[in-house]
Structure 1
Amino acid sequence: MDPFRAFHTKIQVLANLNENIVNSHFPEELDHCVVRRKKPKTSAKADNSWSISSDSNDNAVPGPATISRGPPRLRPPLPQEVTELILRDLSKVELLPVLRSNKALYSVAVRVLYRELAESSPSRLISLLRALLPQTHVHPHVRKLDLNIASLECPTANLYRTLHALLRRTTGLASLSLDLPKAHSPVWIFEGCSFKLRQFSTSMHCSPALARFLDTQDRIVQLTLRGFQNDTMRSLPYLYMDITHTLTGIPGSGAIEILKKQEAGLEPFVLSPGALPRLAVFNAIHAGPAVVGEVVKGRPVTTVSIPLFSTNARRSLDALEGSAVPLKRLSIISFDPDAPNYIFEQVATRFPELEALHIVVLLAEFTNELLLAACQHLRHFKRLKYITCVATSSEESSVAEEQEIAEKWHEECPTLRTIILPRGRVWFQKPARISSDRNWECLED
């Protein structure tokens, strides 16, 4: 027997006992869960044998007024908002007994159970969709959907139709993440949907159809585009050789040439001027300068993550200057082998108001000489607090050498608080109250 049922049974047993005994289990000032019963009338003889004399009754001090008591309450005494915060700490498995306890807890637990739904297994996703569709009473409670079926080679049209039906019913959806197979971009699943997203992440291609959908989402604050864009294919064709083979079925460079011919006749990704008025965070995983510029231009974007390719790296950085407000956080993943020679200079001259800068270089190395040469560019930053510079490196660097780099960087940029250098060491400034020969300490120390 669960604790709640045992407690409820105990209360029912106590209710059948003498009222004074029951009330002794509760504070006098609280609303009791027992209904007072009228005492049966007794005969005069019985009254004479058990009652107190009239004189003593006249001198008795009157007691407190009787508190009216209602029926037993099944609803928790806590506000629903507090109960919901408590239930959020439970797993979905632990929430199941709460759902079966009573109606009051069910109304709160059902909101917590269906608020965030995430699934990465295709088979379990199908079961989830089939189970959710008939339950119309839970559709308004769904706030976040995170679905990943990228591992599925060829999803059926029926799967997309089922997903479309669910998206049309979840009118309160605020966060949506869809990771689909590389060659699939079924934007039609958004037709007829009335939700207003705040966060949206998708692997769909940046097509005119996707742009039209984004035009209807005026509440999006965070946007992530993970799809492969047309200009990206031209920027870095050899890294995506397997992708082009998937899209066309033709191996080698012949697939790339066919893609270029197809792209020449495609319509560009264009947003309306009034689209995404609240956009603040933009993450582009494979997009080139055309898509980056179209999304950022004229919008209050303060946090950006973009890739840089060898043929258009500077144009991608130029595209970020179209933001309506200064950038505060910038993350760069560079596929350009020449990036260490220009990355600090190009970023510092364009975005002096940055507070955090994260640079990941995949096809090149950062030598100690290049890191020291970056000092002259770091002085352009006015508010930079956090900087990360990660790259593959064939040469080892001692702690003393990295400490020298960190201290010189701080001399040129006094606002720096945390530095991560290519070897992965984290450097931070020691508090002034601690006396030491070294101003900067490594996390490994």
Structure 2
Amino acid sequence: MPNASALPVEVFEFVLCELPRSSLPAVLRSSKANYSIALRVLYRTLNDMNICETIRLLESLAKSSSSIGSRPPCTLVQTLHLDFSRNIRVTANLLRLIHTVLLRTTSLQDLSLEFSLHDNHYPLSWFLEGCTFQLKFLAISLRCDQQLANFIEQQQNLRELCLRGFQTTSPFVLSSGALPKLMSFRAVHAGAPVLEAIIKDRAIESVSLSLFMEDGFAPLDTLRLSKREIKRLTIMSLDTTPPTVLIPEVALRAPNLEALHIVVLMARYTEEMLLDSTPCLQLFKNLRYLTLMTGGTQGTSEDESTVARTWAKACPTLRTIILPQGKVWFERNGSWQCCS
């Protein structure tokens, strides 16, 4: 292993980034000169861990201290993804451990916290209190209550936000000056109240939301509240609304979409239903990417070829189309082809 002084620091660090994580401890022990660089690479991104590795890591970060010539490992962490969603219910001791670590990871920019559906029903956001890091990305599956909103309020550098938690009847309020840099918002279980709290008067261009039968199209109404035109929209629909109804409702609220992705879990769309929705696509002037997936597939590749060609004529700006069979249709040399 060459000494770090033999290469520019940036080059040596790049080389270390290409190594598997399992090789980095050996680099740490190779020399004092290599230690600080390898330590930085080792702790910069912490993800893809099983539960045992996660617990050991948290305990290590909670106890870590600085050594001569290097910062404490916890201050080197920029990306931290913790997944407790599989076969585990968090305890108060575990939450206190996570809280201790989050208080120490002052350089954190990318945070993902996954909890089980059971834990999603309880007010657990207290362990986020007191954190001083400023995130650019946050994905979290805690329930959407005011405690979580207070934490999000503090993240002035946030550009991407993903809320996977359940909506509650408790308030979820943000000040008008919160999240000034937010551009992308994804919500899995949240309804119109949380969507409105996040989207209203912010420069959001990309949204992912779910449509539940009891909410009607109220979640789509929140798209009009953004300070900018919505360019990318992903919809997870859990009702049986046909495309001839759903697509016009989308176009009414976001006519300048460039990408529209619709996943319908509770219905199957036939070739006839897809062809009937063709006139609806004329409502979009800039649509380039269109996905429409359903809970089951019907028809043949030839059927989907007919749909793709017909849709492309109605909406000439389209570049790629993905239909229920999962094949990607695209234009090449004047004809529409597919790759599966």
TM-score normalised to structure 1 length: 0.71
| C-alpha contact (below 8 Å) 1:119/1:125 kept by paired residues | no
Q: Distance in 2 between matches of 1:330 and 1:383?
A: 13
Gaps of 5+ in 1: 5-73, 231-262, 433-438
2:39 match: 110
Percent identity between matched residues is 42
Q: Distance in 2 between matches of 1:163 and 1:278?
A: 27
Q: Distance in 2 between matches of 1:388 and 1:292?
A: 22
The question of 1:323 aligning with 2:226 is answered yes
2:304 match: 402
What amino acid does structure 2 have at the position aligned with 1:355? E
1:194 match: 132
Secondary structure of 1:321's counterpart equals helix
Instruction: Tell which has more relative contact order, 1 or 2 (C-alpha 8 A, sep 6+).
Output: 2
Q: Distance in 1 between matches of 2:307 and 2:242?
A: 19
The question of 1:222 aligning with 2:148 is answered no
- The RMSD of aligned alpha carbons is 1.7
Secondary structure of 1:228's counterpart equals coil
Q: 1:353 Cα deviation (Å)?
A: 1.2
Q: 1:77 Cα deviation (Å)?
A: 3.1
1:134 match: 63
The question of 1:279 aligning with 2:182 is answered yes
The question of 1:144 aligning with 2:144 is answered no
In terms of fraction of residues, the more strand-rich structure is 2
Instruction: Please list, as runs of the form range in 1=range in 2, the aligned pairs for 1:35-54 lying within 5 A after superposition.
Output: none
What amino acid does structure 2 have at the position aligned with 1:77? A
Q: Distance in 2 between matches of 1:123 and 1:309?
A: 37
Q: Distance in 1 between matches of 2:4 and 2:41?
A: 17
- 1:132–1:341 Cα change, 3 Å: same
2:336 match: 440
| C-alpha contact (below 8 Å) 1:339/1:361 kept by paired residues | no
Q: How many residues align?
A: 331
Q: Distance in 2 between matches of 1:132 and 1:290?
A: 37
Q: Distance in 2 between matches of 1:89 and 1:392?
A: 40
1:346 match: 249
Secondary structure of 2:5's counterpart equals coil
The question of 1:174 aligning with 2:174 is answered no
- 1:125–1:412 Cα change, 3 Å: same
2:192 match: 289
| C-alpha contact (below 8 Å) 1:203/1:226 kept by paired residues | yes
Q: 1:119 Cα deviation (Å)?
A: 5.3
When Rg is computed on C-alpha atoms for both structures, the one with the higher figure is 1
Q: 1:340 Cα deviation (Å)?
A: 3.0
Within the candidate set 159, 168, 185, 2:94 is matched to 159
- 1:99–1:120 Cα change, 3 Å: closer
TM-score normalised to structure 2 length: 0.92
| C-alpha contact (below 8 Å) 2:244/2:277 kept by paired residues | no
1:36 match: none
Instruction: Please list, as runs of the form range in 1=range in 2, the aligned pairs for 1:8-47 lying within 5 A after superposition.
Output: none
